[in-house]
Amino acid sequence: MLAGDPNKPILGTRVRPIKCASMSKNQLDTKSQAWSALFSEPMSELVKRYTASVFFDKRLWQADITGSLAHADMLQAQGIIGQDDHASIQKGMAQIWAEIESGQFDWKLDLEDVHLNIEARLTQLVGDAGKRLHTGRSRNDQVATDVRLWLRGEMDLIIDLLEDLQTSLVEVAEKNIDVIMPGFTHLQVAQPVSFAHHLLAYVEMFARDAERLHDARRRTNRLPLGSAALAGTTYPLDRERVARTLGMVDAHGQPQVCQNSLDGVSDRDFAIEFTAAAALCMVHISRMSEELILWMSQNFSFIKIADRFTTGSSIMPQKKNPDVPELARGKTGRVVGHLMGLITLMKGQPLAYNKDNQEDKEPLFDTVDTLKDTLRIFSEMVGGQFNPATGVKEGGITVNAQAMEDAAKKGYATATDLADYLVKKGLPFRDAHETVAHAVKAATSHNCDLSELPLNVLQGFHASIEKDVYDCLSLHGSLHARNTLGGTAPAQVRSQIERHHKRLA
């Protein structure tokens, strides 16, 4: 906005000056904000709306109540609050839980965020006990705890969804081990590969995505609570007890507690790590989307995806568009954007907590939602949906094996096999490579495949060529010949499928 007259119209709209309601002493007293006594005027409506987060962070309510209950339990165990207060807090929180769950809870913008909304309602319900809950705690360590608890749960769901998607891919792979398609480099036909092998490449990517999430989960599952505002607290808190109550423990059951209060309240690296892993996962989805889109175009016709994942055109009656994979490819940009947003959010912040961190939530929430929906849809789009009537999954991708094989026959996909054949006859690889290039040139000019050149023509390129050359020039021969660990030979693919089944069981 240009400096100067605030009433000056900008792009046809009038910028109205911000109105501040005048405030009486009484209003100040009844004001629900947690810091009111010091303030001589209330926030304007615009500033309230600008600084409030309740309309998005209310989503953290379960984590917030769970964290508060663990804190209250410890306060009581440490003799910081009495048993009666503890019991009142538990009772009040149970009611608030039910109110929120049933949609009865009255969320108030005036109360800024999820934490103050729940605390105010607790105090309304149980009086002073509610006011004691915040002893030895700040919203700074509270929010950091809530986000970690919430994200931990979401990570577990996403890891499960990644397993479902891998299972779908493995199931389709299992049915297509002997289906031959052209493998590409530079999107030019390179060598024949098994369609199953191609699908299993994505299984590897999604397995690593799950591994990354498992790893990031370890660092997410640590307790900031007890850091208080920034410097720790004067109360004799038992942070390890809280960590244990909240399941923030390592593989050996040892409590995991943030060891520096300044760091505990302020860093959001766990959220950034998660979003980086999510962005990478979406990039894998996006690569797969691009292939699905290509494969279902008329020029490939390798696969069909079920109609419920496609849409028609409002003008071209013949069209079925792959909207789902296209959108997934598009949404990848959105998640990568969230990663950029979060990492940039962190970069200029001095220790310790700054309000900037409130901006971590929307990108994080949207990343989780986008990734979960995408993984769910892809599992079903690829592998189909379980039909209890038939006892099998139905409606996954349909494979056109003939179209794949026909495509593999174009583009001299077995040229490397001919070179390897000559190497076995004693030629150095570079010479064999050159010899085959001449053969390909000849086949191109005859408009035929290498396997269609007569033996005497092939022998013209090298005298060592014999009749058995045709075995290695066939797609089938080429495929079966790549029988090294990780190769596309059906025997290798079968053993990979077995490994995945065991791993995913």
Residue 59 CB, shortest distance to ligand ARG, in Å, is 12
Query: How many angstroms separate the CA atoms of 493 and 486, rounded?
Result: 8
Stretch near ligand ARG under the rule CB under 6 A, chosen from 157-165, 236-244, 355-363, 382-390: 355-363
Q: Is the peptide bond before 352 cis (omega within 30 degrees of 0)?
A: yes
Q: Which one of the listed residues 22, 24, 40, 186 is annotated catalytic?
A: 186
Query: How many angstroms separate the CA atoms of 239 and 241, rounded?
Result: 5
Residue 352 CB, shortest distance to ligand ARG, in Å, is 10
Residue 229 CB, shortest distance to ligand ARG, in Å, is 7
Question: Pattern of binders to ligand ARG over 49-88, x per CB under 6 A?
Answer: ----x---x-------------------------------
Closest to ligand ARG by CB, 117 vs 194, is 117
CA 364 to chain centre: 10
Contact between 113 and ligand ARG per CB under 6 A? yes
Query: How many angstroms separate the CA atoms of 213 and 336, rounded?
Result: 16
Contact between 266 and ligand ARG per CB under 6 A? no
Decide if 464 is catalytic. no
DSSP state of 374: H
Decide if 32 is catalytic. no
Closest to ligand ARG by CB, 15 vs 231, is 231
Task: Please count the residues of this chain forming the interface with ligand ARG, following the rule CB under 6 A.
Answer: 10
Contact between 257 and ligand ARG per CB under 6 A? no
Query: How many angstroms separate the CA atoms of 475 and 404, rounded?
Result: 11
Closest to ligand ARG by CB, 57 vs 449, is 57
Question: Pattern of binders to ligand ARG over 132-171, x per CB under 6 A?
Answer: -------xx--x----------------------------
Contact pick of 19, 355, 467, 502 for ligand ARG (by CB under 6 A): 355
Query: How many angstroms separate the CA atoms of 303 and 292, rounded?
Result: 8
Per the CB < 8 A criterion, the answer to whether 218 and 250 are in contact is: yes
Residue 101 CB, shortest distance to ligand ARG, in Å, is 22
Q: For residue 270, give every residue at least 6 positions away whose Cβ sits within 8 Å of its Cβ, in sequence order, or none.
A: 148, 151, 216, 219, 220, 222
Coil, strand, or helix at residue 335?
helix
Contact between 358 and ligand ARG per CB under 6 A? yes
Neighbours of 343 (CB within 10 A): 15
Residue 49 CB, shortest distance to ligand ARG, in Å, is 14
Q: Which one of the listed residues 297, 313, 495, 501 is annotated catalytic?
A: 313
Per the CB < 8 A criterion, the answer to whether 164 and 488 are in contact is: no
- In sequence order, what DSSP letters do the residues of 100-141 get, joined into one string? HHTT-----GGG-SHHHHHHHHHHHHHTHHHHHTTTT--HHH
Q: Give the residue among 252, 254, 256 at the shortest CA–CA distance from 224.
A: 256
Residues of this chain that bind ligand ARG (CB under 6 A)? 53, 57, 113, 139-140, 143, 353, 355, 357-358
- Annotated active-site positions, please? 186, 313
